[in-house]
Amino acid sequence: MSLREAVKTVWKRSSSTTVPTCLPRVVRELERGWADVAPNTLPPFELERIVERIRSSWSSERTLSRVSARDRRWAPYALYYPTNTANAWLGRDGRFVEALLDECRRTPRLFVATLRQALLRYPEQLRAFADLRKGLQRGVRDVASPRLVEWKRRVGEHHLLDDKGPSKFAQLISANDEQPQSVLHDAGLDDELAGGEFVRLAMREFLSELEEDLKAEPDRLDLSHRLEFVATERSLRFPSDAHLAANALLRPFVNQQPVAEVRSQIEAFLIKHVKDPRFEKANWQRVESAAKAVFLRWILGATLEDFFRLISKNAIEKHWRYRRAFWRAYFKKDLISDAWVVLGEEARRIARTAWRDVPPYAILYGTQDRSHSVLLLRIGSLTVAEWSHNGKCRIWRDGSDTVPKFYERLYLRDQLRDGADAEIVHTWSEHYTWQGKLANIIRRETGCDVRQADYRVR
């Protein structure tokens, strides 16, 4: 329906002689509809043949006028085709760009296709791309066509064709109270363009700003709102940039601690979208070591707290508060490098009822006492199995044939008992008897020095 036909239709439905109040809304809807008409697509093999014909004609004639009308309508798609062969792009040629802009001024449909290709590919490193961007910016302002009315608004309000446009768009997302998806939709960046290079560059700028804000005021950010731009409900917007997201969220806390709410939001986000680095190591290979260390420390701390919180639900508190204080002292000094929870039947039952999201854990089989569970710890060259309730603490040196492995899914009782190089019974906790013996063994074997003043219960 043309704009004239739309006006006539609305006017006939109105009994008033004045302009119907709904007319501006109808016109805006029509303008958006015209702007978002799905571009034609071709199978890759057919597009390849067309691009080759355009490239051949251009190289010999240096004009688009000799290209057939049918092929010319696909000229915008020839700019950056194929995507993985930048040296062959016609979009590198300033004269081709100029010729295409001339065609766009005469054919608004071609203009929209060229604008979309620019936002989809956004090769800002090319000198000719700056000419294309500026030419499109002039054209969207000067070309009179209903197809371009909505794009004119989008380009103006969302900086789509500005110099440093991705950076400006990132700032707009950060400052906007609307949901990021709504802003993307309003900017016309919610189909294939949502995964395009303009949005990807904006995302990188956005992550840089988020990192600076986390460093400056980590306790005052609405982090949940910000993270909705970094990832959809299902996945990161740009999974290949997962390491950038992890770096931006973790580097601010190399030398400072976030408040609990911020930390829990970041933990949940990274576990969901980048996964646990203890099990999905490939996802974390490109994350900076200092940032990864922050997250591992958070996970280890959470593992310790989860274990002691869970076991304390059906254990004698006076026993557990001494063990908790002892191992917390090692954690606070960054002496625990690995921690893994192995839950018995009773602890698994409690975990399922007490927690909505149960943390990762292993299963303990073969025990007569269903209440038993084990906390596996790595301190220097030692592996420690801290048994719950009345169980002993067992220690293995590196190189032992029977040393338990971390992050198995299932452990038999004997794997966490037999062949230990040392055993400690938890006697006289109030007098710090077993704590002193265990601390001496760890100090002698690893050099990790923790004193009674560090693990005293306060």
- Reported as a single tens digit per residue, the pLDDT across 203-248 is 999 999 999 999 988 777 778 888 999 999 889 999 999 999 999 9
User: pLDDT higher for 14 or 259?
Assistant: 259
Across 42-51, 61-70, 311-320, 431-440, least confident range: 311-320
Question: Which residues span the domain enclosing 396?
Answer: 303-455
In this structure, the answer to whether residues 319 and 362 fall within a common structural domain is yes
Residue 182 lies in a domain: no
In this structure, the answer to whether residues 107 and 220 fall within a common structural domain is no
In this structure, the answer to whether residues 278 and 315 fall within a common structural domain is no
pLDDT band, residue 30 (cuts 50/70/90): very low
In this structure, the answer to whether residues 51 and 24 fall within a common structural domain is no
Residue 394 lies in a domain: yes
The mean pLDDT of the chain is: 88
In this structure, the answer to whether residues 71 and 17 fall within a common structural domain is no
The residue count for the chain: 458
pLDDT band, residue 199 (cuts 50/70/90): very high
Would you say 365 and 412 are in contact if contact means Cβ atoms under 8 Å apart? yes
Q: Which residue pairs, CB below 8 angstroms and at least 24 apart, start in 259-263? A: 259/218, 259/219, 262/214, 262/218, 262/219, 262/221, 262/223, 263/298
Half-sphere exposure of 351 (CA within 13 A, CB side): 22
Residue 174 lies in a domain: no
In this structure, the answer to whether residues 228 and 318 fall within a common structural domain is no
In this structure, the answer to whether residues 330 and 369 fall within a common structural domain is yes
Residue-level pLDDT at 31: 45
pLDDT at 371 over 70: yes
Omega into 76 within 30° of 0, i.e. cis? no
Nearest to 286 by CA among 256, 241, 251: 241
Amino acid present at 214: L
Residue-level pLDDT at 209: 95
Burial 178-191 (b: 16+ CB within 10 A, else e): eebeebbebbbbee
In this structure, the answer to whether residues 312 and 434 fall within a common structural domain is yes
pLDDT at 89 over 80: yes
- Reported as a single tens digit per residue, the pLDDT across 420-439 is 999 999 999 999 999 999 99
Residue-level pLDDT at 227: 93
pLDDT band, residue 9 (cuts 50/70/90): low
Question: How far apart are alpha carbons 173 and 452 in whole angstroms?
Answer: 52
Mean pLDDT of 336-362: 86
In this structure, the answer to whether residues 370 and 420 fall within a common structural domain is yes
Mean pLDDT of 336-361: 85
Q: Which residue's entry shows tokens 């007098």?
A: 431
In this structure, the answer to whether residues 126 and 203 fall within a common structural domain is no
Question: How far apart are alpha carbons 291 and 352 in whole angstroms?
Answer: 31
Burial 315-349 (b: 16+ CB within 10 A, else e): beeebbebbbbbbbbbbeeebbebbbbbbbbbbbe
Backbone angles phi, psi at 365, to 5 degrees: -120, 160
Nearest to 242 by CA among 284, 276, 200, 289: 284
Domain count for the chain, please give it: 4
Question: How far apart are alpha carbons 341 and 303 in whole angstroms?
Answer: 7
